[in-house]
Each structure stands twice: as C-alpha cells, then as structure tokens.
Amino acid sequence: MPACTLHEAFAALPEPRGTHGLIHPLPAVTGLVVLAMLMGRKSLQGIARFGRQHGAPLAHALGFRRGKTPAASTLSRTLRRFDAPQLEATISQWIRDRIAPRAFEQISIDGKTLRGSRDGDVPGQHLVAAYAPAVEAVLAQVRVGSKTNEHKAALGLLGILPLQGRVVVGDAMFCQRDVAEQVIDRGGEYLLVVKDNQPGLEADIEGGFAFETAARGIAAATSP
C-alpha cells in the first residue's frame, strides 16, 4: 500500500479546536504552515504573509473553503491547541513510511536547543533527535524535560525507533550502559564516544582491543 501524503496524515489528527464556528479546516492550516516553512517563512507573521501573497489559488489548493488563508493570530490560536507529542509522532511516522526499510543503516542521536524557543528568562525547548544521514531526515525527536537529561530522553527515543540491523551513533552524553543495552536488545549496534572523564570504561575498551589483537596474533602464529 502506498504511503499516505502529508495532507492525509494531518487529516487523521484529532481536531484540537472546539466544533463551534470553525472556519479553516485543520489539514489546510497545517498544510499552509508546512509549505510556508519549506519556503523559508519561520514566523507566524511570515506564514500568514505567505498565504496572502499567493491568494485564492493557493488557499483553494490547500483546502481553505473561503479562498482565504488565516491571519497570524488565528494560526497562533490553532497551533497552541495541538498535542505536540502526537503531532511529532504523526510527522515522524509519515517520514518513516516514505523511507525504504534498508535505505539507511546509521541513526545519529544528538541533543539540541530549539532555535527561537527561548523567551526571556524562560529557557529554550531542549530536544533529543534521531537523524538518518543517508536520507537526510529526522526520524523522531523527544523533549528533554526539566527534571531529566538527554541520556534519559534518549532511552525513550530509542524505544520508538527501528533499530534492527542499524548502528546508533552518539557522543559521550549517550555512552551509558542502559543506552547500549537497549540498542543491542532491539537488534542494533552502537558506536558511542568515550571521554577521559570515564577512565574505567576507557581502560576496559583499551584492554578489550589489546586482548583481541593478542588473540589474533597467537592464532596466526599457531595456524598450520
């Protein structure tokens, strides 16, 4: 069965607004936001301006019944009502459905602060994302809560990713036993950075490589 379009994926989202007096269909609103952002409009004012600039032809193509796209204030009220994790899951699933199962073997996990999300003294939204370099796509991302850290958020993220036969790559923040165990348990492999502040682990790794090198040397020397 062919993968659904992004418009169809958005149409399956539950309506977060009240049923009274709705003017703009939800898939049309989300379609406008995505299209405008792909064209470089990053603010609500820029998205609303993009809709006005292209007028009725674009509005009808996106599904706006009155041939008019919403103002920035309407966009703000609508987007604030979304269940962010549910929207994130819908977009992530749409991306994964459009990627061939063996199109990528590496998944890179990394933390970042969402640009523009800081508001005065309120810190920005911190996310942990899983990125597939081979297809240049973010497969999924989760928010790092104020009472947790990237390591714990990564465990939740790995739990929803297809890891079978793939290599998970991450920096020293994710070089943790439970992260490695989860990757292995899900059928994947890992390549994680070790820093000098983990001397015991670093020594174990060096010892393991030294043992393997010695064993191969002995095997080569004693083979007929």
What does the pLDDT read at residue 65? 86
**Nearest CA among 34, 147, 142 for reference residue 89:** 142
pLDDT mean over 64-88: 87
Assess whether 178 and 132 both reside in one domain. Answer: yes
Q: Please name every residue paired with 130 in a beta bridge, in sequence order, or none if there are none.
A: 109, 140
Assess whether 107 and 187 both reside in one domain. Answer: yes
What does the pLDDT read at residue 62? 92
Q: Which of 15-24, 125-134, 209-218 has the lowest mean pLDDT?
A: 209-218
Domain count, the chain: 2
* pLDDT higher than 90, residue 189: yes
Confirm if 180 and 204 have CB atoms less than 8 A apart: no
Domain of 173?
Answer: 102-193
* pLDDT higher than 90, residue 213: no
Assess whether 80 and 124 both reside in one domain. Answer: no
Please check whether residue 138 lies inside any domain of the structure: yes
Roughly how many angstroms between the first and final C-alpha of the chain, as a whole number? 56
What does the pLDDT read at residue 223? 67
pLDDT mean over 71-92: 85
What type of residue is 33? V
pTM equals: 0.62
Name the more confident of 171 and 224: 171
What does the pLDDT read at residue 168? 94
Both tokens of 221, joined, read 């020397």
* pLDDT higher than 60, residue 1: no
What type of residue is 94? W
* pLDDT higher than 90, residue 157: no
Please check whether residue 213 lies inside any domain of the structure: no
What does the pLDDT read at residue 151? 87
Assess whether 180 and 155 both reside in one domain. Answer: yes
Residues 6+ apart with CB under 8 A from 109: 128, 129, 130, 131, 154, 157, 158, 168, 169, 170, 174
Q: Tokens 């939204």 sit at which residue?
A: 125
Please give the share of the chain, as a percent, with pLDDT higher than 70. Answer: 85
Secondary element (H or E) of residue 137:
strand 137-143
Please check whether residue 199 lies inside any domain of the structure: no
Assess whether 155 and 81 both reside in one domain. Answer: no
pLDDT mean over 109-118: 75
d(CA 92, CA 88): 6
Please check whether residue 220 lies inside any domain of the structure: no
Both tokens of 53, joined, read 């600039």
pLDDT band at 149 (very low <50, low <70, confident <90, very high): confident
Give long-range contacts, CB 8 A cutoff, 24+ apart: 52-56. none
What does the pLDDT read at residue 120? 66
Please check whether residue 166 lies inside any domain of the structure: yes
Q: Which of 18-27, 115-124, 208-217 has the lowest mean pLDDT?
A: 115-124
